[in-house]
Amino acid sequence: MTHNFVYNNGYKCCIKCGESEKSHYWNDDLTYETINRELYKQPIKKIKDNKWKTLLYRSHLFLNETPHFLHKKILEILNILPLSLKAKKNLYIYIISKKYKSYNEIRKAFYNIICIHDLPITSKKFVKILNTDTVQKFKPLTKLRNTSVRKYYWYISKQIENARKIINFSYEESQDIYKIVFDYYNLIRFKMLKSPNPIYLIHNLVYYTIREKIQPNQQHFNKNNFKIKDLAFITSLIKILKEIKSKNLDSNFIETLQVKNRFKFLKATI
């Protein structure tokens, strides 16, 4: 159906029915005409039973490409990153200069930056935030091209600070714990290639090191309040440490962990 419009009293009205131009957007006669506009790039397969749902979905995709929407999303992502104000400004200038044309391009760019520079936020947490209330879910590749593997050294400090909130140990003790965890983490993850999950490895190494070196009261510091989720992982860690001892792989470490007999009963006591 073709409609001709004229301006009357400041409004653009249809010559045929007298209604405003805006009201025609949702007119049943114009449903197919509206959907088939060039601003919707992908073809629609079904519209008979779900035409309104499809139309709203397509409208959402179109709005995700507008400069205003993209700029808003850039600012939202910057706000969740644990960076200084200066770092955020520099990152903002960099992202804007690239002139990305879709939200997916922006999400991919931020994700790559986080991985390349190993920013202090886990990939899993960042992707979860990106996918909150989002129609098109972001699914990053497990391995990025031409980028180094994330080190996650900042996560060691984070978990040690979490432990200090539970039990009060000195700054010097925290530095000693960091050195021990750092050495064993590099050995297990990068040399022995024993742990594909750096988060679990660091979390459990910090827990085990504190239990071994500081020996806190189990009621004050345990797997529950330190939020150890995978109970099987720490058992696997002990097995790896036993292998390290048997092969003398930690002989050059300044301070080492000892695998004691009492850890045979880890499942029951930790």
Residue 113, token pair as written in the block: 């930056």
In this structure, the answer to whether residues 255 and 212 fall within a common structural domain is yes
Distance of CA 7 to the CA centre of its chain: 51
In this structure, the answer to whether residues 51 and 116 fall within a common structural domain is no
The pLDDT of residue 29 is 42
User: How many structural domains are present in the chain?
Assistant: 3
Q: Which residues pair with 11 in a beta bridge?
A: 8
Distance of CA 26 to the CA centre of its chain: 38
How many C-beta atoms surround the C-beta of residue 145 within 10 A? 6
Cβ distance 100 to 106 under 8 Å?
Answer: yes
Q: What is the pLDDT along the chain (270 residues), one digit of tens a residue?
A: 555 656 666 656 666 666 655 555 444 443 333 333 333 344 444 445 555 555 545 555 445 567 788 888 889 889 888 888 999 999 999 999 998 888 888 888 998 898 888 999 988 888 888 776 565 566 665 454 545 678 999 999 999 999 999 998 999 999 999 999 999 999 999 999 988 789 999 999 999 999 999 999 988 999 899 998 887 887 888 889 999 999 999 999 999 998 775 454 444 444
In this structure, the answer to whether residues 193 and 235 fall within a common structural domain is yes
Is the residue at 111 inside a domain?
yes
Q: How far is CA 268 from CA 47, 182, 218, 221, 231, in A?
A: 59, 27, 13, 16, 10
In this structure, the answer to whether residues 24 and 84 fall within a common structural domain is no
In this structure, the answer to whether residues 121 and 191 fall within a common structural domain is no
Domain holding 25, by residue range, is 5-63
Cβ distance 206 to 185 under 8 Å?
Answer: no
Could you tell me the pTM of the whole model? 0.67
The residue among 189, 191, 223, 193 whose CA lies nearest residue 206 is: 223
In this structure, the answer to whether residues 182 and 258 fall within a common structural domain is yes
The pLDDT of residue 36 is 38
Is the residue at 147 inside a domain?
no
The pLDDT of residue 267 is 44
Distance of CA 161 to the CA centre of its chain: 21
3-state secondary structure of 265: helix
Domain limit, last residue, from 46, 63, 80: 63
In this structure, the answer to whether residues 159 and 263 fall within a common structural domain is yes
